[in-house]
Amino acid sequence: MADFRLPTDTIVRPDKDRFLSQMAQTGTFQSNEENPFEAMMSRFDRAAQLLDLEPGIYKVLRSPEKEITVSIPVLMDNGEVEVFTGIRVLHNTSRGPAKGGIRFDMNVHLDEVKALAAWMTWKCAVVNIPFGGAKGGVICDPLNMSVGELERVTRRYTSAIIQTLGPDSDVPAPDVNTNERVMAWLMDTYSMHVGHTVNAVTTGKPVEMGGSLGRREATGRGVMFTATQALEHLKMDVKGATVAVQGFGNVGSIGAQLMQQAGCKVVAASDRTGGWYNPKGIDIDDAIAHVKKAKTLAGYGKGEAITNEQLLELEVDVLIPAAMENVITTKNARNVKAKIVCEGANGPTTAAADAILDEKGIFVIPDILANAGGVTVSYFEWVQNRGGYYWDEQTVNDRLRSIMVNSFRDVLKLSQQHKVNMRTAAYMVAISRVATVHRLRGIYA
């Protein structure tokens, strides 16, 4: 049975995806290298140039379709009224409804939301699912709010942006500090407004009310599919391939577990408390059991203690950064010794570090491809909701495999044709898919 009185601590996930967090704290980024908007735009520009994108479509794709800012008055538990700011940005809907998460965080900022919405457009296009890109958020401090206050913020924000929401127009999902509980409130509020139950208005819902089986594991599973494809492409054995994983949360622990099940040897794993290295291989089920009890990898002990920095520089076949952004930079890229980097996290490599990894001949599976398993199963959730027919877990996993493998091959083919790395090729695949639809649809006037 689902517990609908979830405590605040399961709603708030403060260390998840602190994307662009420096921006709101300091008003600027630590360095230009670490500015993710720049990171995204420099890669977009390079791919657009190689595609010889016409200036009109270039301008269309650089501009978000819609930016909404709303005030959210909320009655707080102490009887006072607080007014929060909420944002929703739809970057591009030419290929289908906008898709993208909603975050509750003090660091939510319009520029950040615009960059992340565009990122979603490219991620959906690279795996060829019929969605555009969106992102949203509420500037608030969920760590210091009660469950009741969070519910009222969610419902008032939902009603404030209700014009854009809908299974055919804009479909949110959980993101930083939001979860399936928040999506259940959002779905309920939307349904109350339209007068009937519409579970396809959001994804990432509890399985009991239309969430998809296999969603929790989907991103890690997609990481495993793309990493094993890369090993096969490089004619390396999957069996016995050595793997190091940074981050042991949803993406990292499940990615590591599935890599091990595929026959790889996971020799290192870390989380925010540090990491463990064991050349004979770490038993990932055992490490997961430790984290279940102890909350972190601290004290795991079955191996040599290493730092997160050391983990990134280990001599392994596959390195999976699955914790946070900007961990491979110009400062350490030269020391990366992995043959394959599979980006489970969003933005783990800075744009400036790309060139160094390229020079070293490292095969990088870019984030917009490697971690797209999550949004792919979100798409399956939306399809199941709309069809009113639910798939078993094996069907979800098989269909995910087919999409991830085909997408990997599409990107690889373009990278070979144009002699560019996998990241540039992924952007080229994504941009050309969106641009093609714009050309076919024409400019409405």
Positions touching ligand NAD (CB under 6 A) are: 13, 15-17, 219, 246-252, 270-272, 308, 322-324, 344-346, 371, 374
Which lies closer to ligand NAD via its Cβ, residue 53 or residue 183? Answer: 183
Residue pair 229/318 in contact by the 8 Å Cβ criterion:
no
Of these residues, 16, 99, 123, 135, which one is catalytic?
Answer: 135
Which stretches of 105-254 are assigned E, i.e. beta strand? 132-139, 170-174, 242-246
284-301 burial, b for 16+ CB within 10 Å, e for fewer? beebbebbeeeeebeebe
Residue pair 240/264 in contact by the 8 Å Cβ criterion:
yes
Alpha carbon 351 to chain centroid, angstroms: 18
Which lies closer to ligand NAD via its Cβ, residue 21 or residue 346? Answer: 346
Which lies closer to ligand NAD via its Cβ, residue 16 or residue 95? Answer: 16
- Least Å from the CB of residue 315 to ligand NAD: 20
- Least Å from the CB of residue 200 to ligand NAD: 19
For this structure, is 114 an active site residue?
no
- Least Å from the CB of residue 55 to ligand NAD: 32
Torsion sign over Cα 317, 330, 422, 374: positive
- Least Å from the CB of residue 45 to ligand NAD: 23
Which lies closer to ligand NAD via its Cβ, residue 114 or residue 221? Answer: 221
Query: Counting Cβ atoms within 10 Å, is residue 261 exposed (0-12), middle (13-18) or buried (19+)?
Result: exposed
Which lies closer to ligand NAD via its Cβ, residue 184 or residue 369? Answer: 369
Which lies closer to ligand NAD via its Cβ, residue 48 or residue 252? Answer: 252
Question: How far is the CA of 422 from the CAs of 43, 243, 307, 340, 414, in angstroms?
Answer: 11, 20, 28, 11, 8
Structure tokens at 356: 């160094």
- Least Å from the CB of residue 374 to ligand NAD: 3
Residue pair 185/172 in contact by the 8 Å Cβ criterion:
no
- Least Å from the CB of residue 47 to ligand NAD: 20
**CB proximity list for 396: less than 8 A, separation 6 or greater:** 212, 213, 214, 218, 377, 380
By beta-carbon distance, which residue lies closest to ligand NAD?
249
Alpha-carbon gap, residue 239 to 32, rounded angstroms:
40
Question: CA angle at residue 273 from 268 to 277, to 5 degrees?
Answer: 20
Residues forming the active site: 135
